[in-house]
């Protein structure tokens, strides 16, 4: 690890000010990606701005027609939340599948969404549920937030404060874990709303994406059989030492079916 | 006072008190006054000419004390890292043995090859300075696979090693095999890859070196399985330090699996550097550094053919293997795919003729050496896989074909056509026991239940034998060993009757402090808690070859047993004097020396006291004191073996293989501590399952980059991968070790890969699948199913 300055502001505007005033400084939430990167000397930020003192960013609130999860809420809290388990069980299930107990206790929803790792679980849940990303300056719809490999719509100095999830009629997540990392080799989140179905895929490509043909088919008939024959194109999917693109494409269909199964059960 | 806890008991492990309460003493726990930090700078290229190193910026960085390179080592006339084995080809031509400099000179030959050593006041300063080194590389094409390495036109690692072939080794009667193949009713053929593995012990390698000018002595603390061998190899052959001026300490070590049984360049560099800077230096490898510098294992490409008569009897076995050595010869490197591989190709069968050719090949990869099982898992995998292929092709049941060819219990000792003579064994007994334990007769019911869920279920067998207890020195010497392979133990009885044992093996998770204490407790009748086992320090322990090759109990335990016998013999002399009886009339039992047929007796403690307070003592004929030492060199290997049965379920939709049942019935000879043996089997089996289903070291073909260089990309087996295992022993006693022991450290890893893959192939056989390479990952299985001859559907 290389030396860096360390700040621990207790107000969001102070954090935002530090972030804009110190060039290349980094926010640290749970640190589950950033800290290993620092330890491997792959990143050299002059300053870390620790968000852990922003206590009001942690917690889950019932808004009636939606649930708001504070950005600093750890995965374990989402997984264990009775509210989430009751209103969006698929999201609680997703949170329970992230990493291992240590990661779930430290890692936060805001950190995961801001990092937009192409194999992270939360982006699939956020996009699949059509959630709203609430930041220090504005609100951003999930469809306009995830821009590709580790890229998001966040502007310099902008800090995620919460994620607001609308309540689906049904939702489910199915994840095929990469054997070693247990990140999503392919993860599919399926959510059924009154006005249609959303299907979001993580792990398969350079960023989370939706699958319109599956959404249409499931809007007609919310059953695994409706999408069994829908294959997605290999083009643009990831090939690496664990899985080539055609296998990932195959798994998208399999995991989508299983996500529908999970949503129905 | 505590109790005797002897052979066959399962006390809790003595060492766990400190391990489980965080009070172990590992190398990285040790701090020395004035200690500095060392960092190795490693090649980022698989193959490159090292044109120059500009260290000026690094030397000027804060806290930097020195930057050492291969040129400095050359100027100090330091030796090359030695190889402990010298093998030869069929004509007796010795293997090519290019120098292995401890810091690269002229060229780098793998990603991770050491180029420089930076010493600074703190690890942070050393790391920062390491990034300032300007190293001028002329990058060359790399070659990482064995098939590619010996093709014409392949990149050449060494000017004087044509086609990268280190040795073209063979074993067996080629003509007899060819003749048998001509008469065969059926020939089964199999091409396979034995995947490259990375050991990943929980504790990364580490070392601290210190030089004391007052006594001109060096001390090296290192994560080693064999400190005395490091002292010899490094002191005598690399750094020219006299043995009495070099102390090597391997304190608590967090797992080895072979990875820590080599003399590594890091050890030599840090010891040499400690004198140059006149300060202690500590180096602790990161996990990432371990991936590109810990010696790797396996990595074979093999073509095998089995000749059978019309009844399925094996007539001859022919095996051609290409074995990857990596960029240089490591300590045992060339021995593993040759001497520890070919002689095991007979397995538990009566195959009369066997021929094996192994081309040992250099590539731009981390040097390959022993990893748990070392050669024997590779041999077992080839043999047990081709037996299944032959059975399938000839329409003979897989268990039946094994029975038809198995060495019957009565035929032991059994001389194989490939050098080794098995002293004892009962493979049929292990097979019968495993069939019952695995509930094979109800497998059909379980298979149908799986099918109803859309899953394919398969059962796989591995009936195997291995050679361990390394090793009879005379035999090993004939095969090319450059050292002896005995073991030593000293039993020091204190004046108050407690016992300290100094033994040359090294305990890094195997439970030696418990097992060896049980042997002493049983043999001397002293309380289990009154026995301590000392190991891992060349200043405290007389000598030793260390722990590897399932040798600690077999060879070290035998030395310990002999030493305790000597203590009893001397005790009888003392007792005879004190009891005024003839020595031949003294009996020793349950901690008492007594005169036969009388109630006159002396306790073990009384005899110990008399030995150290020799007021009434036969000083004219007997020395005071009660401390005995024994060296033991085995007359043969030991041959544990057994039958493993794996049961898997394959999800055809994703290709996922789930191990649902695992049964092992092993013959490990006498069992000292059943709990520890069970733990060794569990761990060994999991490591074998890791090879079969998960682990794979993958290199980029052109750049030589290790693509599976972290736990994120290299899949280690985890607890949730495993079912509850059924493990049992069916032991015959070794006829030549003092206690009948055979060793159990590696059997699990040797028997299991073939059982698992045979189960996977069985699950998919209805689709025309005849072989699956390891690891049987979901991606690989799915791809096989895409190409399978029948549509994917549950039966």
Boundaries of every domain in chain A:
5-166, 170-264
Burial class (CB in 10 A: 0-12, 13-18, 19+), B475: middle
Confidence of residue B788 (pLDDT cuts 50, 70, 90): confident
Q: How far does Cα B331 stand from its chain's mean position?
A: 13
| Residue carrying the six token digits 């009757």 | B497
Please give the backbone phi and psi of residue B358, each rounded to the nearest 5 degrees, phi first: -125, 120
Bond into B413 cis (ω within 30):
yes
Which of B128, B711, B779 is opposite residue A180, by nearest beta carbon? B711
**Strands A209-210 and B36-42: what pairing?**
unpaired
Nearest-Cα distance to chain B for A185, in Å, is 11
Q: Which residues of B touch A241 (CB under 8 A)?
A: 696, 698, 707-708, 713
Which of A181, A242, A251 is opposite residue B654, by nearest beta carbon? A251
Residue-range domains of chain B with CATH: 30-140+202-255+260-291 (3.90.1170.50), 380-469+637-786 (3.30.365.10), 486-632 (3.30.365.10)
Q: pLDDT of B641-677, one tens digit each?
A: 999 999 999 999 999 999 999 999 999 999 999 999 9
Which of B124, B288, B712 is opposite residue A181, by nearest beta carbon? B712
pLDDT at B1: 52
**Strands A47-50 and A26-28: what pairing?**
parallel
pLDDT at A115: 96
Burial class (CB in 10 A: 0-12, 13-18, 19+), B612: middle
Confidence of residue B572 (pLDDT cuts 50, 70, 90): very high
pLDDT at A55: 73
Closest CA to B376 of B795, B756, B747, B789: B747
Tokens of B232: 């010899």
Lowest mean pLDDT among B150-154, B294-298, B732-736: B150-154
**Rg of chain B, C-alpha, whole Å:** 28
Tokens of A150: 């580790």
Closest CA to B134 of B69, B220, B224, B203: B69
Q: pLDDT of B304-353, one tens digit each?
A: 999 999 999 999 999 999 999 999 999 999 999 999 999 999 999 999 99
The runs of H, that is alpha helices, within B122-173 are: 123-130, 146-149
Confidence of residue B749 (pLDDT cuts 50, 70, 90): very high
Q: pLDDT of B656-665, one tens digit each?
A: 999 999 999 9
Q: Is A241 in Cβ contact with B715 (below 8 Å)? A: no
DSSP class per residue in B317-337? EEEEEEEEEETS--SSGGGTT
Q: pLDDT of B593-641, one tens digit each?
A: 999 999 999 999 999 999 999 999 999 999 999 999 999 999 999 999 9
CATH 3.30.465.10 for domain A5-166? yes
Say whether pLDDT at A101 is over 90: yes
Reported as half-sphere exposure (CB side, CA atoms, 13 A), residue A234 has a value of 7
- Residue B685 host element (H or E): helix B674-689
Which of B286, B708, B778 is opposite residue A241, by nearest beta carbon? B708
| Residue % of chain B over a pLDDT of 90 | 98
Closest CA to B677 of B537, B560, B512, B536: B512
Confidence of residue B793 (pLDDT cuts 50, 70, 90): very low
The span from the CA of B197 to the CA of B690, in Å, is 9
Question: Cα–Cα–Cα angle for A73, A74, A76, nearest 5°?
Answer: 130
CA B420 vs CA A155, B369, B385, B749: distances in Å: 72, 22, 22, 21
Cβ pair B642, B662 in contact under 8 A = no
Q: Is B712 in Cβ contact with A179 (below 8 Å)? A: no
Q: Is A179 in Cβ contact with B778 (below 8 Å)? A: yes
Say whether pLDDT at B789 is over 70: no
pLDDT at B795: 39
Burial class (CB in 10 A: 0-12, 13-18, 19+), B212: middle
Tokens of A177: 């874990």
Tokens of B398: 């897989």
Q: What is the mean pLDDT of chain B?
A: 97
Question: Among all residues of chain B, which has the CA nearest to that of A245?
Answer: B779
Q: pLDDT of B270-279, one tens digit each?
A: 999 999 999 9
Nearest-Cα distance to chain A for B156, in Å, is 27
Q: pLDDT of B465-505, one tens digit each?
A: 999 998 899 999 999 999 999 999 999 999 999 999 999 99
Would you list which residues of chain B are within 8 Å, Cβ to Cβ, of chain A? 124, 127-128, 131, 286, 288, 653-655, 694, 696, 698, 707-708, 711-716, 777-779, 782-783
A90-A94-A95-A96 Cα dihedral, nearest 10 degrees: 100
Q: pLDDT of B275-318, one tens digit each?
A: 999 999 999 999 999 999 999 999 999 999 999 999 999 999 99
Q: Is A3 in Cβ contact with B654 (below 8 Å)? A: no
Q: pLDDT of A1-16, one tens digit each?
A: 888 999 999 999 999 9
Confidence of residue B790 (pLDDT cuts 50, 70, 90): low
Cβ pair B666, B674 in contact under 8 A = no
Closest CA to B370 of B216, B257, B495, B504: B257
Which of B124, B654, B698 is opposite residue A176, by nearest beta carbon? B654
Q: Is B733 helix (H, G, I), strand (E, B) or coil?
A: coil
Reported as half-sphere exposure (CB side, CA atoms, 13 A), residue B427 has a value of 26
What is the mean predicted confidence (pLDDT) over B134-151? 97
Lowest mean pLDDT among A166-175, B212-221, B564-573, B783-792: B783-792
Q: How far does Cα B414 stand from its chain's mean position?
A: 25
DSSP class per residue in B452-496? HTT-EEEEEEEEEE--BS---HHHHHHHTBSS---EEEEEEE-TT
CA A50 vs CA A10, A19, A22, A101, A105: distances in Å: 9, 11, 14, 22, 16
Say whether pLDDT at B792 is over 50: no
- Number of neighbours of residue A260 by Cβ within 10 angstroms: 27
Q: Which residues of A touch B719 (CB under 8 A)?
A: none
* Superfamily (CATH H level) for A170-264: CO dehydrogenase flavoprotein, C-terminal domain (3.30.390.50)
The span from the CA of A142 to the CA of A164, in Å, is 10
**Strands B48-54 and B107-108: what pairing?**
antiparallel
Q: pLDDT of A163-187, one tens digit each?
A: 999 999 999 999 999 999 999 999 9
Tokens of B564: 């305790």
Closest CA to B261 of B327, B343, B330: B330
What is the mean predicted confidence (pLDDT) over B151-159? 96
Confidence of residue B787 (pLDDT cuts 50, 70, 90): confident
Tokens of B631: 């060296």
Confidence of residue B221 (pLDDT cuts 50, 70, 90): very high
Q: Is B782 in Cβ contact with A247 (below 8 Å)? A: yes
Cβ pair B296, B326 in contact under 8 A = yes
DSSP class per residue in chain A? ----EEE--SSHHHHHHHHHHSTT-EEESS-TTHHHHHHTT----SEEEE-TT-GGGS-EEE-SSEEEEETT-BHHHHHH-HHHHHH-HHHHHHHHTSS-HHHHHH-BHHHHHHHT-TT-SHHHHHHHTT-EEEESS-EEEHHHHEEETTEESPPTT--EEEEEEEPPSEEEEEEEE-TTT-SEEEEEEEEEETTEEEEEEESSSSS-EE-HHHHHHHHH--SGGGTTT-PPP-TT----SS--HHHHHHHHHHHHHHHHHHHH-
Burial class (CB in 10 A: 0-12, 13-18, 19+), B495: middle
The span from the CA of B94 to the CA of B480, in Å, is 10
CA B630 vs CA B369, B563, B573: distances in Å: 30, 5, 19
């Amino acid at each position: 690890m290389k030396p860096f300055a360390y700040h621990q502001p207790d107000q969001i505007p102070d954090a935002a000010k530090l972030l804009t005033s110190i060039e290349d400084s980094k926010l640290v939430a749970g640190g589950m990606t950033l800290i290993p990167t620092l330890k491997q000397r792959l990143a050299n930020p002059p300053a870390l701005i620790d968000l852990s003192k922003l206590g009001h960013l942690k917690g889950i609130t019932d808004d009636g027609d939606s649930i708001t999860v504070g950005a600093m809420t750890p995965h374990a809290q989402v997984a264990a939340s009775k509210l989430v388990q009751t209103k969006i069980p698929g999201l609680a299930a997703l949170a329970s599948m992230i990493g291992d107990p240590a990661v779930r206790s430290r890692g936060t929803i805001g950190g995961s969404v801001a990092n937009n790792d192409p194999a992270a679980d939360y982006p699939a849940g956020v996009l699949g549920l059509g959630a709203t990303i609430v930041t220090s300056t504005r609100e951003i719809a999930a469809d306009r937030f995830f821009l590709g490999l580790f890229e998001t719509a966040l502007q310099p100095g902008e800090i995620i404060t919460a994620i607001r999830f609308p309540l689906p009629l049904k939702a489910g997540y199915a994840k095929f874990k990469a054997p070693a990392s247990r990140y999503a080799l392919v993860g599919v989140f399926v959510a059924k709303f009154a006005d249609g179905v959303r299907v979001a895929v993580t792990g398969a490509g350079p960023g989370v994406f939706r699958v319109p043909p599956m959404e249409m088919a499931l809007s007609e008939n919310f059953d695994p059989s409706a999408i069994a024959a829908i294959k997605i194109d290999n083009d643009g999917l990831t090939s690496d030492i664990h899985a080539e693109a055609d296998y990932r494409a195959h798994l998208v269909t399999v995991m989508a079916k299983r996500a529908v199964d999970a949503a129905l059960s | 006072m505590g109790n005797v806890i002897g052979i066959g008991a399962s006390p809790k492990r003595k060492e766990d008190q400190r391990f489980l309460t965080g009070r172990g003493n590992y190398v990285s726990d040790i701090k020395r006054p004035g200690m500095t930090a060392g960092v190795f700078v490693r090649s980022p290229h698989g193959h490159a000419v090292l044109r120059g190193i500009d260290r000026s910026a690094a030397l000027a960085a804060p806290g930097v004390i020195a930057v050492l390179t291969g040129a400095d080592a050359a100027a100090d006339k330091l030796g090359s890292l030695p190889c402990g084995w010298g093998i030869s080809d069929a004509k007796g031509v010795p293997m090519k043995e290019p120098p292995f400099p401890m810091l690269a000179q002229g060229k780098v030959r793998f990603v991770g090859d050491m180029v420089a050593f930076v010493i600074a006041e703190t690890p942070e300063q050393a790391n920062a300075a390491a990034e300032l080194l300007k190293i001028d590389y002329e990058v060359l094409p790399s070659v990482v696979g064995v098939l590619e390495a010996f093709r014409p036109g392949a990149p050449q690692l060494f000017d004087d090693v044509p086609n990268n072939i280190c040795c073209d080794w063979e074993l067996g009667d080629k003509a007899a095999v060819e003749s048998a193949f001509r008469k065969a009713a059926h020939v089964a053929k199999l091409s396979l890859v034995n995947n490259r593995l990375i050991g990943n012990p929980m504790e990364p390698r580490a070392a601290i070196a210190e030089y004391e000018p007052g006594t001109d002595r060096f001390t090296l603390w290192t994560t080693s399985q064999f400190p005395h061998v490091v002292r010899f190899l490094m002191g005598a052959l690399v750094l020219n330090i006299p043995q009495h001026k070099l102390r090597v300490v391997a304190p608590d070590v967090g797992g080895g699996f072979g990875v820590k049984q080599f003399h590594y360049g890091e050890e030599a560099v840090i010891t040499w550097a400690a004198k140059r800077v006149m300060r202690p230096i500590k180096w602790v490898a990161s996990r990432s550094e371990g991936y590109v510098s810990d010696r790797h294992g396996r990595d074979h490409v093999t073509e095998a053919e089995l000749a059978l008569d019309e009844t399925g009897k094996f007539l001859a076995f022919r095996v051609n293997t290409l074995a990857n050595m990596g960029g240089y010869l490591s300590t045992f490197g060339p021995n593993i795919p040759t001497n520890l591989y070919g002689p095991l190709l007979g397995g538990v069968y009566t195959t009369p003729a066997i021929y094996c050719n192994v081309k040992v090949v250099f590539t731009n990869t981390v040097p390959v050496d022993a990893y748990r099982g070392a050669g024997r898992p590779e041999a077992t995998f080839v043999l047990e896989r081709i037996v299944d292929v032959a059975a399938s092709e000839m329409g003979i049941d897989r268990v039946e074909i094994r029975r038809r060819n198995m060495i019957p219990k009565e035929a032991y000792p059994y001389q194989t056509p490939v050098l080794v003579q098995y002293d004892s064994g009962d493979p049929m007994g292990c097979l019968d026991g495993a069939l019952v334990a695995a509930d094979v007769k109800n497998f059909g019911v379980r298979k149908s239940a799986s099918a109803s869920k859309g899953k394919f279920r398969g059962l796989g067998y591995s009936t195997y034998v291995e050679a361990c207890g390394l090793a009879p020195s005379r035999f090993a010497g004939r095969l090319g060993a450059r050292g002896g392979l005995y073991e030593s133990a000293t039993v020091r009885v204190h004046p108050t009757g407690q016992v300290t044992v100094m033994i040359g093996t090294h305990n890094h998770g195997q439970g030696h402090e418990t097992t060896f204490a049980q042997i002493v407790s049983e043999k001397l009748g002293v309380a289990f808690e009154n026995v301590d086992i000392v190991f891992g320090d060349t200043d405290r322990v007389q000598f030793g070859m260390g722990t590897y090759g399932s040798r600690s109990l077999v060879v070290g335990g035998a030395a310990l047993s002999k030493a305790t016998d000597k203590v009893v013999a001397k005790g009888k002399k003392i007792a005879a004097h004190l009891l005024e009886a003839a020595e031949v009339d003294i009996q020793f039992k349950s901690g008492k020396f007594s005169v036969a047929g009388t109630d006159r007796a002396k306790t073990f403690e009384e005899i110990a006291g008399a030995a150290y307070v020799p007021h009434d003592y036969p000083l004219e004929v007997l020395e005071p004191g009660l401390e005995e030492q024994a060296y033991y060199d085995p007359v043969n290997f030991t041959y544990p073996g057994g039958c493993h049965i794996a049961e898997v379920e394959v999800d055809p939709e994703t290709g996922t293989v789930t191990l649902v049942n695992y049964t092992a019935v092993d013959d490990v000879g006498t069992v000292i501590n059943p709990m520890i043996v069970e733990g060794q089997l569990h761990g060994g089996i999991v490591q074998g399952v890791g090879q079969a289903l998960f682990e794979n070291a993958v290199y980029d073909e052109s750049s030589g980059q290790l693509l599976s260089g972290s736990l994120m990309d290299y899949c280690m087996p985890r607890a949730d991968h495993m079912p509850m295992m059924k493990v049992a022993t069916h032991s015959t006693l070794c006829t030549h070790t003092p206690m009948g022991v055979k060793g159990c450290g590696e059997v699990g890893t040797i028997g299991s890969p073939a059982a698992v893959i045979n189960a996977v192939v069985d699950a998919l056989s209805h689709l025309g699948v005849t072989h699956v390479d390891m690891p049987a990952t979901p991606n690989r299985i799915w791809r096989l199913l895409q190409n399978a001859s029948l549509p994917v559907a549950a039966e």
